[in-house]
Amino acid sequence: MGIDDLKRLFDLAKDCRVLLCGDTGQHASVARGDALRLLENHSDFKSGQLTHIRRQRKAAYRKAVELAAQKRTVEAFAQLERMGAIVESSNDNLHDKAAQSYLKVLAENQSALLVAPTWTEIEAVTEKVRAVLKTAGRMAGEEKEFQVFDSLSWTEAQKRDVRQYRPGMAIQFHRKTGSFVKDESVQVVAVENDSVKVQRADGAENLLPLWAGAACFDVGEKRKLKLAAGDKLLLQANWRKKFVNGELVEVRAIQGDSVLLADGRVIPENYRTFTHGYAVTSHAAQGKTVDEVLVVASSRSLPAVHQQQFYVSISRGRERCQVFTDDTELLRSHVTRSSARLAAVEVLPRVHRQKFVQNILQRGHRFLKRFRQRITQSVSTERNIHEIEPTHYEHQRKSARHISV
């Protein structure tokens, strides 16, 4: 949760009690400001801590997760190595190995989830997984192609920046703003000054001002996605209390332009914010639990690997974790890097920070003192002017009367 969102929450809560729960060792919010971590480390609020991990059932695996939670990542990585959980393979068959391991877990009637650092890696391993599932007969029937909305996950600042937009991009509204209604989808056709010109479903073109309403829409691209019965999907947007962003579902059948899910729900033709759900990013994996988690991190994706990403990725499993990489030593060096963002209050060391705050307070005090002096002098000067002017005027009046007589 970012600082702006937390402020909105506090404004809504007013006099109500607010209970914040989370793990500041995992991913921070996409929006600016690590609100929960700042409250935990730099406020007078008291916080409790859960120290016993219950998800991991095997002691050795649980130990690795405990070390990662304590930010002792090098030790956590070494523990996984001792468990035989780090699998190094050439880049050519890395994704094949991960896909075969995924199929093996399913054959044992257990749940599995692949976690990768980037969407490029996710698409590569998803292609291999769907191929082995088809071969094994776990995906049946003809595939059908759907046009889906692929969010770019922009922040509000990015959405207000006209330089970010290109013709052909898609904009999807999740709240009403101006003449645009909830669930409406439009296409960018041109960029004009501080607005973008968009084309609506009926062909009409309108200007969308970016300075207001950025929180009401999402920006992305349209792409083709093939689906078949047996596919797993990741839902990427909330919709009318029927679908939840981040939910993993399974396709039972394709019915025209609708998708029938295994749980009986139906994805209608006006909901197209989903993708294949075999592999997800560590952000999407937060809060999920499976029997076995399979982490894929090739050297091409290592720039996106860091301490928090590694901790979230390896901790999703109950029974087992496997990490697939083509360079163990390079991966080991990346998992020690933290992605924590420094706030202004954290830039300076504690001793200098206290002096910095004191200096600001002292400067503020001196400024107010000079400001009061100037105000006093100004008021005094005005009073003198008002006292002098009437006296001068009375003198003139008396002189005039004397001359007149």
Token pair for residue 121? 């890696």
Percent of all residues in the chain with a pLDDT value above 70, rounded to a whole number: 90
> pLDDT at residue 77 above 90?
yes
Averaged pLDDT of the chain: 88
pLDDT band at 27 (very low <50, low <70, confident <90, very high): confident
Per-residue pLDDT of 264-300, as tens digits, reads 999 999 899 999 999 999 999 998 999 999 999 999 9
- Distance (Å, rounded) from C-alpha 154 to C-alpha 131? 32
Q: What's the pTM value of the predicted model, to 2 decimals? A: 0.78
pLDDT at residue 375 is higher than 80? no
At 155-179, the pLDDT tens digits run 888 999 999 999 999 999 988 998 9
Q: Given this model, what pLDDT does residue 272 score?
A: 94
Q: How far apart are the first and last CA of the chain?
A: 86
Secondary structure of residue 332 in the 3-state scheme: helix
Give the whole-angstrom CA distance, residue 350 versus residue 41: 12
Q: For residue 402, what pLDDT is reported? A: 44
Q: DSSP letter for 284, please.
A: H
Q: In angstroms, rounded to a whole number, what is the distance separating the alpha carbons of residues 208 and 218?
A: 13
**HSE of 1, CA atoms in CB hemisphere, 13 A:** 17
pLDDT at position 145 is 96
Q: Which two tokens stand for residue 129?
A: 């997984």
- What's the pLDDT tens digit per position in 34-69? 888 888 887 777 788 887 888 999 999 999 999 999
